[in-house]
A and B are shown apart, each in its own frame.
Chain A
């Protein structure tokens, strides 16, 4: 069965495009891109993460254009990304160099450097704040001034501290396995489509750009029994990591001659997962492994869920679906999943007619036999 070209929808499509613009404009309110950037941090971060393109400005523009539809905004970002050249690859970003704004552990109360709550909704009342209906700039500026006055009372530190990883202390005690730096060049899933079995670098790249809801749901499914991973969060940290690139033409390379190009905000998670392993005496004993999660911006639920799925996919021997890399990796991408689902609403007249014809033929045959 081939596809049959048809025409006749041009005017309707033009009218539909005007209609979608009308829907965005009819309220006669305009939201600036800068307003979205300043006030919709969670959405901006989520769009950047799912589109795998770090640019708060472009993410805010995409949200405006898409009227807040996350899948449409991510699609716009991915499409825009495909129009841009990629002249540089960064030098390896080491997360230890993060300027930490938030860092907590669910495993230990006393972690070296302390637990830093930073900015979080975790301890807020989840009650609608109706005072926001009357919010005005004057009051906000006054609040900011008061807060700044409060901050001005705080004495500066002598120098900036960088926090060591919680897991480093456990490794020093021999409680966790230590891995030598593996400098195998990663595979880029945007250059080569996934081939199974995948490498660790491919899995992590697909997980970090996965749709927040999909990654969270599958991570949750694993916890509820459709997987064998139930972790304790060793560390969640949110902060800025610096990005450096090498000069494209200079023959002699020195770290001191790299370009610093700026920093990006990420959420990083290490989850501790108990596993049973056989020791030298062929007896099972409890050990801990680490699940790793990371994503652009502040999106802690996604990063924790990613750490669960990372650990699941490190154990493909389990029969659960969350340990099946084809099941997980091929279904969590926003553009792929929403694109395929939404294509079902596009014309399938010929395919459907052929199915109807088949059913009519079958029913006709049955009636002939019965008579």
Chain B
């Protein structure tokens, strides 16, 4: 599974999944910490919809970690102060970069978690739709 999709699942879903996957790698392979979880900033570039141009809205606090497995470096980046999650994401990223066989079996868990995320979002949206206005034109 490509990085974009799997990071969406691992960050939007239950953080225990990232922990579970990362721990299965740490138990089997040597994981060298390149950068311990540290805080930094990401500048956010946005497109405005009046003239369709680009600008910077501001910065967001992130936690970043880097881990090496089999000479391949994985990066974990997440919005907020989330040391453990950043570390787990880095281990998982390194596992994919090193093409470890475990990553193939993770596919099932990730797809299952993705279904759950979509379901929860759709439910949340349905709840928000309760505030949708139903205009009725009145006779005067």
- Do A and B belong to a common assembly? yes
Are B64 and A87 closer than 8 Å at their CB atoms? yes
Within 8 A of B (CB), among A272-296: 289-292, 294, 296
Which A residues are in CB contact (< 8 Å) with B78?
261-262
Complex: chain A residue closest to B122, CB-CB: A157
Which A residues are in CB contact (< 8 Å) with B7?
259-261
Within 8 A of B (CB), among A97-127: 99-102, 109-110, 114-119
Contact pick for A204, options B55, B118, B119, B135, CB 8 Å: B55
Interface residues on A, range: 35 or more
Q: Is A174 part of the binding interface, using a Cβ–Cβ cutoff of 8 Å? A: no
The stretch that binds B, out of A182-190, A211-219, A319-327, is A182-190
Contact pick for B57, options A181, A208, A290, CB 8 Å: A208
Most A Cβ at <10 Å: residue of B43, B46, B132: B46
Are B60 and A55 closer than 8 Å at their CB atoms? yes
Contact with A along B31-61 (1 / 0, CB 8 A): 0000000011111111111111111111111
Are B45 and A87 closer than 8 Å at their CB atoms? no
A101, B64: Cα distance in complex, Å? 29
Which B residues are in CB contact (< 8 Å) with A93?
44-47, 57
Which A residues are in CB contact (< 8 Å) with B11?
260-262
Which A residues are in CB contact (< 8 Å) with B119?
156
- Taking the nearest CB of chain B, how far is it from the CB of A156, in angstroms? 4
A94, B52: Cα distance in complex, Å? 10
Are A181 and B47 closer than 8 Å at their CB atoms? yes
Are A86 and B59 closer than 8 Å at their CB atoms? yes
| A266-B79 in contact given A160-B121, A180-B52, A181-B52 (Cβ < 8 Å) | no
Which B residues are in CB contact (< 8 Å) with A100?
128
Are B62 and A88 closer than 8 Å at their CB atoms? yes
Contact pick for B133, options A54, A89, A117, A182, CB 8 Å: A117
Which A residues fall within an 8 A CB radius of B? 49, 52-55, 57-58, 81, 84-95, 99-102, 109-110, 114-119, 151, 154-161, 165, 167, 179-186, 188-189, 200-202, 204-205, 208-209, 242-245, 247-248, 254-264, 266, 268, 270, 289-292, 294, 296, 310
Which B residues are in CB contact (< 8 Å) with A87?
40-42, 64
**Across the A-B interface, how many residue pairs have beta carbons closer than 8 Å?**
221
Which B residues are in CB contact (< 8 Å) with A118?
128, 131
Which B residues are in CB contact (< 8 Å) with A156?
119, 122-123, 126
Q: List 22 A-B contacts (CB under 8 A).
A: A52-B59, A84-B39, A84-B40, A85-B41, A87-B41, A88-B41, A88-B62, A92-B47, A95-B49, A117-B131, A160-B122, A186-B53, A186-B56, A200-B55, A201-B53, A202-B55, A247-B75, A261-B78, A262-B11, A290-B51, A292-B49, A294-B57
Which B residues are in CB contact (< 8 Å) with A310?
50
Are A90 and B4 closer than 8 Å at their CB atoms? no
Known: A54-B44, A89-B43, A186-B53. 7 other contacts (CB 8 A): A92-B54, A151-B127, A157-B125, A245-B77, A259-B4, A260-B7, A262-B80
- Taking the nearest CB of chain B, how far is it from the CB of A241, in angstroms? 8
Which A residues are in CB contact (< 8 Å) with B64?
87-88
A150, B122: Cα distance in complex, Å? 16
Are B49 and A270 closer than 8 Å at their CB atoms? yes
Most A Cβ at <10 Å: residue of B39, B52, B56, B127: B56
| A243-B79 in contact given A159-B122, A264-B60, A292-B48 (Cβ < 8 Å) | yes
Which B residues are in CB contact (< 8 Å) with A86?
40-43, 59
- Taking the nearest CB of chain B, how far is it from the CB of A361, in angstroms? 51
Are B122 and A53 closer than 8 Å at their CB atoms? no
| A264-B2 in contact given A52-B59, A118-B131, A292-B49 (Cβ < 8 Å) | no
Are A115 and B3 closer than 8 Å at their CB atoms? no
Are A186 and B40 closer than 8 Å at their CB atoms? no
